[in-house]
Amino acid sequence: MQTTQSPSLTATQLPQVHFPRNDGMPLDLDWVMAVQANTSAIERRAKTLPGRRSVKKDYQAAWLCKAISLMDLTTLSGDDSEGRVRRLCAKARQPVAQPILEALGMEGLTTGAICVYHDMVATAVDALQGTNIPVAAVSTGFPAGLSPFHLRIAEIGESVAAGAAEIDIVISRRHVLTGNWQALYDEMREMRAACGDAHVKAILATGELGTLRNVARASLVCMMAGADFIKTSTGKEPVNATLPVTLTMIRAIRDFEDRTGVKVGYKPAGGISKAKDALVYLSMIKDELGDRWLQPDLFRFGASSLLGDIERQLEHHVTGAYSASWRHAIG
């Protein structure tokens, strides 16, 4: 077992981010059609990942604090209320109890962003005044993306006008499943334009794309069209973020940077609820993309319950005892 060193984590880095923008490029169908995915090799590599890195004690605490700083703390429920969103924003400001942070020698730790439905954007923006925590809005007919296209574009504009700094859009899965890459590119390009200065995360809904080759090609087309991030899932599909999908997508990101010089971010979402899983994802990002992607402008966890488990692990690190999960409510 190899031991992963602790990441650099200082208060000045949290959440002082400088988002690189992806202006996109013309659709290169020759490049897209040349993309393949060796599923058996990807799955074999993914199986080895949980056992290849071991982080303990202070190193583990540092990595878990890093994970918090990369988290899009999320509530996307039909019963969301202003009160719930304000409590969530308070948690984003102070994700870990102050005595625990003091024992860890941590200052200025916040989550990377808050992610909500459009109706809650204004509430979240108001609750986060005085911080650098951005508000992300899910948009374009989330989660299915099947509303009329002009309404999806209008929804982006409404969320930007309400103060959302980031827009999580959903692509039309049918374009991927039918191999209509020009339609996917044109759709993504128009959504990117509608976001204006807001950063756009393209949700691929990978659990509904059929094959890892489709995932790789869809990732590439969305990056060509100007996606600042590519994201696995809405969190509403039967299968959300997985290690094979993540490996496929981050290698597409690496290939895109090698050929264009443009860095694109990555966001796994859905199903990542345990601290140990977050550590596996972080070690994979470090191995495949390097330390630069361990910053909130290039990596985010889409999470709701993950923070509670991380907070329990940090308290155990400080006190030697596990507390009840209800003591670490998210909102």
Contact 270, 240 (CB under 8 A): yes
Tokens 């309400």 sit on residue: 162
The answer to whether 79 is a known catalytic residue is no
The active-site residue, picked from 66, 201, 231, 286, is 231
Neighbouring-strand partners of residue 203: 170, 231
Note if the bond before 99 is cis, omega within 30 degrees: no
- Phi and psi for 267 in degrees, rounded to 5? -135, 105
3-class secondary-structure state, position 114? strand
Q: Residue 204: how many CA atoms within 13 Å on its side-chain side?
A: 35
Residue 95: which of 110, 108, 75, 84 has the closest Cα? 110
The active-site residue, picked from 168, 228, 277, 309, is 168
Angle at the Cα of 54 (from 108 to 294), degrees rounded to 5?
40
The active-site residue, picked from 91, 201, 267, 286, is 267
The answer to whether 168 is a known catalytic residue is yes
3-class secondary-structure state, position 197? coil
Residue 108: which of 6, 7, 9, 8 has the closest Cα? 9
Contact 71, 301 (CB under 8 A): yes
Residue 245: which of 258, 231, 259, 234 has the closest Cα? 231
Q: Report, as residue numbers or ranges, the catalytic residues.
A: 168, 231, 267
